Structure 1
Amino acid sequence: MEIGFIGLGQMGSAIAGNLVKAGHDVTVWNRSADKTRPLVEIGARRAETPTGAAAGKVVFTMLANDQAVERVVFGDDGVLASAARPIHVSMSTISVALAERLTEAHAASGGDFISAPVFGRPSFAAAGKLAVVAAGDDKALEVCEPLFAAIGQRTFKVGAAPKNANVIKLCGNFMILAAIESLAEAMTLAAKNGVEKATLLDVLTNTLFGSPIYQTYGDILLHERFEPAGFAAPLGLKDMNLVDSAALSSRVPMPFLGVLRAQLLATIARHGEDIDWSALGKVVTENSGL
């Protein structure tokens, strides 16, 4: 299938690479053109503009925030300027409000919009083992099914309204960070009372908490593998702000959200912007005097 891919960070590069390896005709664009080189070397083509990447049947965007998505979609050389009217698949973690705006804009232009954020760190993306959460028109989703199969191990279809997928992604990221915080607190409590963190983690992940989140982040916390960041702390803070916006507009109190945001702010203030969001575990440890 002839597709485009816009946004070649850690996640985007891995996803686009798997689409190329699956035999699709992939055209890529990135604000920093040098990031297109590895993909061109394995068979992709480089577009000069976002519009150029949106000349096929489907165009993916995987970008850092709402502002970046708005620039590549609504700009003079953006996705909506393409005469091809491709299905736009947004894999970015964006606000519910922007998802609604994109849905309306694509419908007005005669195109389709699908929200398809993913769960999984860069290693999962490279291995094609992401979980894809997709929402939008049934016919557009059917077109995209083989593309999702090339990048993930399972696709969850969550309704006709694209924003549904974004709500689920934000809820999921909130719960991931809550799990990291609770695990960091528990491991620190154990350590201060003479119990090895590894012992606690072994017991918990083989009894009550045998899930990928506790296993993956427990190992990261245990070995303090916070750099290089798989998901940088400022991106986590951005996501928690998006959760807050959704909660405010929906009138949903989320008191623990304030704790998580404060911990991320402390993490960034103490350890810089290039550290993984799980490094809030360092803040928990530091605050305990260890």
Structure 2
Amino acid sequence: MDHLQTNLPYSRPNTPGLHPSQIGFVGIGAMGYFMARNLANRRVIPGFAHAPLLLWNRSAEKPQKLVKELGEERVRITQSIEEIVNSCEVIITNLANDEVVKSIYDQFLKILTQSPPVKNKIFVETSTVGLILSVLYILTGLSSISGNLITLGELDGLLSQIRHVHFVTAPVFGTPSVADKAQLVIIMSGDYRSKKELAYLLVPSMGRKVIDVGENVEKAPTFKLIGNSMILGAIEVFGEAYTLGEKAGIEADRVNELVKDIFPAPGLMAYSDRMANDNFDGSIGFAIDGGIKDATHIRRLTATYNSPMPAIDVAHQHLITARAIHTTQKLEGKQSVETLDWSGIIAGSRVAAGLDPFDSKKHQSIVQEDE
């Protein structure tokens, strides 16, 4: 059996559709940098020409760094979103939050309406977003939506009304370090043929596995939020356990060793290591703002489906507590890191227990003596 077949839920598509000649990537952030780099370095198939990956980002620093790392034969910075949309057959977006997603796809729609494509284009949204995007106004020559909200399904409807245009949601599981190693798990929903083509483009170049959850584009983001609820719930429990251990005189190294014995998942062990060592630098992890965004989306999802998740409610409160403390420290010039990682959630448990939020060296263990 084909090695990829075990990690992809599709049969191999017929060539030449397997290898689009031009791909664009929008959003070269903490995750997007590694995703774009690995995609640009994808395995070269004999007989297929690969044009440089086209990049667009609001700021130029990271795209320029990527060009310096790979060279212009692999990646090239575009001067406008119009060039990405008009030149590429596949456009991948990895963006910071719902508002940025709304803004970028608003621009996509306007460009597509002004210059309708004459061949297939696939737009691939890989960010973690809610099912309802905040939107001020979207207008195309075909349809308009005014008001404050637009669902992913409605966005899919607007895009699919334009001939040759397809939309796939493909959020990914993994931290920047996982993206660096091309070990992301990719969740896909949307047009079946588009997913089939994308799967063989993105695995193994960008990820290790694709999970298909159907043609409704809202399913993949829902699945991603369910997965994130498990991760967030776990690190909340870890934070509470470490805090209890600190109060009871159990060394953090001991708790961390136990985590590795009973929860041997690489991602969870990494967050445990951060808590054990007070390593809360979000510039090389998952920034707490992203954690609060995801927790907010999860809570909205639980309300939509009347499916309570009390652990996430507590985690959301502790994330906000941690961010508030860190913000105060920054105003006073006392912060230890510029960007706080979401493993800093432990601060919520620590301050509730009367401990320092981010520095366990300041704790005095309370140990019950035998009588």
Q: TM-score normalised to the size of structure 1?
A: 0.92
Question: What SS is found at the alignment partner of 1:37?
Answer: helix
C-alpha change, 1:214 and 1:107, in structure 2 (3 Å) is: same
Q: What do the CA deviations read for 1:105-158 (whole angstroms, capped 9, x no partner)?
A: 221113111111111111111111111111122210111123221111111112
C-alpha change, 1:77 and 1:168, in structure 2 (3 Å) is: closer
Q: Are 1:220 and 2:270 matched, yes or no?
A: no
Contact conserved, 1:50 with 1:77, CA < 8 A, in 2?
A: no
The residue that corresponds to 1:3 in the other structure is: 23
Selected match of 1:95 from 122, 130, 143: 130
Q: Are 1:28 and 2:52 matched, yes or no?
A: no
C-alpha change, 1:186 and 1:26, in structure 2 (3 Å) is: same
Aligned 1:160-175 pairs, distance under 5 A = 160-175=215-230
Which segments of structure 1 move beyond 6 Å, counting only runs of 4 or more? none
- By how many angstroms is 1:196 displaced? 1.5
Q: Are 1:37 and 2:72 matched, yes or no?
A: no
The residue that corresponds to 1:185 in the other structure is: 240
Question: What SS is found at the alignment partner of 1:60?
Answer: strand
Q: What amino acid sits opposite 1:62 in the alignment?
A: N
The structure with the largest alpha-carbon Rg is 2
Q: What percentage of residue pairs aligned between the two structures are identical?
A: 32
Contact conserved, 1:231 with 1:277, CA < 8 A, in 2?
A: yes
- By how many angstroms is 1:247 displaced? 2.4
The residue that corresponds to 2:121 in the other structure is: 86
Whole-angstrom CA distance in 1 between matches of 2:33 and 2:124:
16
Is 49-58 or 217-226 further displaced after alignment? 49-58
Contact conserved, 1:133 with 1:158, CA < 8 A, in 2?
A: yes
Selected match of 1:288 from 343, 350, 353: 353
Q: What amino acid sits opposite 2:201 in the alignment?
A: L
Aligned 1:240-279 pairs, distance under 5 A = 240-272=295-327, 274-279=339-344
The residue that corresponds to 1:119 in the other structure is: 173
Selected match of 2:252 from 164, 174, 197: 197
* Gaps in structure 2 of 5+ consecutive residues: 1-19, 45-49, 133-150, 328-337, 356-371
> How many residues align structurally?
289
Higher helix share: 1
Is 277-286 or 166-175 further displaced after alignment? 277-286
Q: TM-score normalised to the size of structure 2?
A: 0.73
